[in-house]
């Protein structure tokens, strides 16, 4: 593979005797993977249903390598939110972060949401997950991935760490900074990243990375943990950023995740004496280039505490939603609903005054001519067992694909709204009348 000259020269200096082996790995094919959505499917069922799985990814419990020639994006199960298509190394940072149900977690550079969905699945919809990105255009795919995965405890924001300080100072238990970087680790997979690389000025990303970290640190509570990750090899963007950060912030320390380090020989230590960091090298591991390191803010660290409001909704119910819930047998007893710009949400209850919020909690639906229309996000979140009116389309016949393409189906079932499931997994909504199912699968999500 032709590689940028500047990159080759730098890597030669960095890797010395290992350089030839490293550079030879660029003539091999990239590896591909998918990550199971544990919110929707058990490991056993996943192994039975997905035919193109290869061996498990050693550093990620839910991750699997897949056949190089498989097309997971065309898989109907993908459109039911059963997995995320993720380059195997990219699953490492969240394993290191280890978010738990009930925690307050920030995914600061989140779009398009690969790591957000991994965090969300681990949190089991308990606690609060703020998924932020500075690039507004990228928030649409972030929101879609969150909805498809059935995550309901997240807020998608369009801020920077600096602008989040009010109200989130010293607030989060865990923060992921999956920083923008020069992307050297993706050259084997993505021609565009390689071509863009030659246009970057030297150290274009370093200042940005330092600045992001410098603000992110204030959002972490004393005793909280932060993972910094990139998909690049450059020590300027990895070890040097962290060493300088530790030099300037004595209330932070490195955390060695011995378990992960020992999980497989494929994970290497950081360079420049940063043994606690983890590197994935393509000539050592079955994955593309990646870097991740975990830092902890000491318990003694001090600072202002932000003032995050918890919103007490007045157990508001909306008549049209109630009528719909009664019709399909959905228990919305504990749901506090809010109406915003015509759309109805079950929000997270975390105050976001002054923040640019793109999505909050679960979009339940909207009202049209006084009638409730359930949302795609609601269908993705629900399981077939949550309602007593559903139709199940098998995966073998042509119907499943027809449904995902937005076509009308001929099917038997109860009149009115039905949750449409494919092979038992919720896919969307449909309205039945006299054996004809009017398709309500979201237009923007339809398969081509
Ligand atoms: C490596 S990508 C993130 C990939 C994502 N974590 C995933 O797993 O799908 C880096 C992201 O950082 C965002 N970004 C750049 N500068 C930022 C900043 N100052 N604050 C927040 N996000 C930023 C970019 O828009 C980009 O989406």
| The three-state (H, E, C) secondary structure of 178-225, written as one string | ECCCCCHHHCCCCHHHHHHHCCCCCCHHHHHHHHHHHHHHHHEEEEEE
CATH code at 384-448: 2.30.130.60
- Span 159-187, average pLDDT: 95
Write the DSSP assignment of 278-303 as a string of letters. Answer: EEE-TTTSSS--EEEEEEEE-TT---
Confidence of residue 150 (pLDDT cuts 50, 70, 90): very high
CA distance 119 to 179: 16
In the block, residue with structure tokens 């957000």: 116
CA distance 318 to 332: 11
- At a CB cut-off of 8 Å and minimum separation 6, what does 335 contact? 317, 346, 364
214 is in an annotated binding site: no
111 is in an annotated binding site: yes
- As annotated, the residues of the chain forming the CATH 3.40.50.150 domain(s) are 5-297
pLDDT at residue 227, rounded to an integer: 98
pLDDT at residue 316, rounded to an integer: 60
Task: Please state, as a whole number, how many other Cβ atoms lie within 10 Å of the Cβ of residue 301.
Answer: 18
Looking from the CA of residue 231, the nearest atom of ligand 1 is: 1
| The three-state (H, E, C) secondary structure of 50-83, written as one string | CCCEEEECCCCCCEEEECCCCCHHHCHHHHCCCE
pLDDT at residue 79, rounded to an integer: 98
The residues pairing with 227 across neighbouring beta strands, listed in sequence order, are 176, 294
Q: With left for phi above 0 and alpha for psi between -120 and 50, is residue 105 left, alpha or beta?
A: beta
Which of 109, 145, 217 most suits a substitution to test ligand 1, by most atoms within 8 Å of the C-beta? 109
Confidence of residue 336 (pLDDT cuts 50, 70, 90): confident
Q: Is the pLDDT of residue 200 over 60?
A: yes
Which of 111, 196, 237 most suits a substitution to test ligand 1, by most atoms within 8 Å of the C-beta? 111
Looking from the CA of residue 178, the nearest atom of ligand 1 is: 6
- Span 10-32, average pLDDT: 95
pLDDT at residue 334, rounded to an integer: 83
- Told to judge if 231 belongs to the known catalytic residues of this protein, a careful annotator would answer yes
pLDDT at residue 315, rounded to an integer: 54
pLDDT digit string, tens, across residues 394-422: 999 899 999 999 999 999 999 999 999 99
Confidence of residue 320 (pLDDT cuts 50, 70, 90): confident
Taking the complete model, does pTM exceed 0.90, yes or no?
Answer: yes
Per-residue tokens: 294: 């975990």
CATH code at 5-297: 3.40.50.150
Q: Is the pLDDT of residue 242 over 80?
A: yes
Q: Could you tell me if 147 and 376 are in contact, meaning their C-beta atoms sit under 8 angstroms apart?
A: yes
Q: Of 55, 67, 63, 61, which Cα lies nearest the Cα of 29?
A: 67
Looking from the CA of residue 118, the nearest atom of ligand 1 is: 8
CA distance 75 to 52: 10
SS3 category, 91: helix
pLDDT digit string, tens, across residues 53-98: 999 999 999 999 999 999 999 999 999 999 999 999 999 999 999 9
Q: Are strands 268-269 and 278-280 parallel, antiparallel or unpaired?
A: antiparallel
CA distance 163 to 169: 10
- Please report, rounded to a whole number, the percentage of residues in the chain having pLDDT higher than 90: 84
pLDDT digit string, tens, across residues 280-313: 999 999 999 999 999 999 988 877 777 787 776 6
Q: Which of 60, 80, 181, 231 is catalytic?
A: 231
Closest residue by Cα to atom 20, ligand 1, is 160
Q: Could you tell me if 272 and 239 are in contact, meaning their C-beta atoms sit under 8 angstroms apart?
A: yes
Task: Please state, as a whole number, how many other Cβ atoms lie within 10 Å of the Cβ of residue 23.
Answer: 18
Considering the chain, what is the average pLDDT of its residues?
A: 95
CA distance 86 to 433: 40
pLDDT at residue 435, rounded to an integer: 96
pLDDT digit string, tens, across residues 214-239: 999 999 999 999 999 999 999 999 99
Pocket of ligand 1 (CB under 6 A): 90, 108-115, 132-135, 138, 160, 178, 180, 212
Lowest mean pLDDT segment, chosen from 180-184, 191-195, 373-377: 191-195
- Span 24-41, average pLDDT: 96
pLDDT at residue 198, rounded to an integer: 84
- Span 189-215, average pLDDT: 91
Q: Is the pLDDT of residue 342 over 90?
A: no
Looking from the CA of residue 180, the nearest atom of ligand 1 is: 10
pLDDT at residue 233, rounded to an integer: 97
Distance 178 CA to ligand 1 centre (A): 6
CA distance 201 to 196: 11
pLDDT at residue 313, rounded to an integer: 62
Confidence of residue 317 (pLDDT cuts 50, 70, 90): low
- As annotated, the residues of the chain forming the CATH 2.30.130.60 domain(s) are 384-448
Q: Of 237, 280, 233, which Cα lies nearest the Cα of 260?
A: 280
Q: Vertex 350, ends 292 and 99: CA angle to 5°?
A: 25
CA distance 398 to 175: 44
pLDDT digit string, tens, across residues 89-124: 999 999 999 999 999 999 999 999 999 999 999 999
């Amino acid at each position: 593979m032709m590689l940028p000259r500047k990159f080759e020269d730098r890597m030669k200096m960095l890797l010395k005797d290992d350089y030839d082996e490293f550079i030879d790995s660029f003539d091999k094919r990239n590896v591909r993977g998918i990550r199971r959505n544990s919110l929707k499917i058990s490991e056993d069922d996943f192994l039975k249903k997905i035919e193109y799985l290869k061996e498990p990814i050693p550093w990620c419990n839910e991750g699997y390598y897949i056949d190089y020639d498989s097309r997971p994006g065309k898989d109907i199960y993908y459109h039911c939110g059963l997995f995320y298509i993720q380059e195997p190394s990219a699953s490492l940072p969240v394993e290191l972060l280890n978010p738990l149900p009930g925690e307050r977690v920030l995914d600061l550079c989140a779009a398009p949401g690969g790591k957000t969905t991994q965090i969300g699945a681990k949190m089991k919809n308990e606690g609060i997950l703020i998924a932020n990105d500075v690039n507004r255009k990228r928030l649409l795919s972030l929101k879609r991935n969150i909805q498809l995965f059935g995550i309901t405890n997240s807020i998608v924001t369009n801020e920077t760490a600096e602008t989040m300080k009010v109200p989130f100072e010293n607030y989060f238990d865990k923060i992921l900074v999956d920083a923008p970087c020069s992307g050297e680790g993706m050259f084997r997979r993505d021609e565009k990243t390689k071509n863009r690389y030659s246009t970057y000025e030297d150290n274009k990303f370093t200042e940005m990375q330092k600045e992001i970290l410098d603000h992110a640190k204030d959002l972490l509570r004393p005793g909280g943990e932060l993972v910094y990750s990139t998909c690049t090899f450059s020590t300027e963007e990895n070890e040097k950023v962290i060493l300088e950060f530790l030099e300037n912030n004595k209330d932070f320390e490195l955390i060695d995740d011995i378990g992960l380090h020992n999980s497989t020989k494929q994970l290497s230590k950081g360079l420049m004496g940063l043994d606690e960091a983890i590197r994935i090298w393509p000539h050592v591991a079955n994955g593309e280039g990646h870097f991740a390191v975990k830092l902890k803010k000491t318990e003694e660290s001090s600072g202002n505490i932000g003032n995050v409001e918890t919103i007490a909704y007045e157990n508001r119910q909306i008549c049209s939603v109630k009528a719909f819930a009664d019709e399909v047998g959905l228990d919305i007893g504990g749901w506090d609903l809010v109406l915003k710009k015509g759309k109805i949400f079950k929000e997270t209850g975390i105050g976001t005054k002054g923040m640019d919020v793109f999505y909050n909690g679960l979009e339940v639906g909207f009202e049209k001519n006084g009638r409730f229309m359930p949302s795609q996000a609601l269908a993705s979140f629900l399981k077939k067992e949550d309602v007593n009116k559903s139709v199940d389309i098998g995966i073998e016949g042509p119907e499943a694909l027809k449904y995902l393409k937005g076509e009308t189906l001929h099917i038997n079932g109860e009149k009115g709204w039905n949750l449409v499931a494919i092979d038992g997994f919720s896919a969307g909504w449909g309205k039945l009348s006299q054996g004809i199912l009017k398709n309500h699968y979201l237009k923007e999500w339809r398969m081509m």
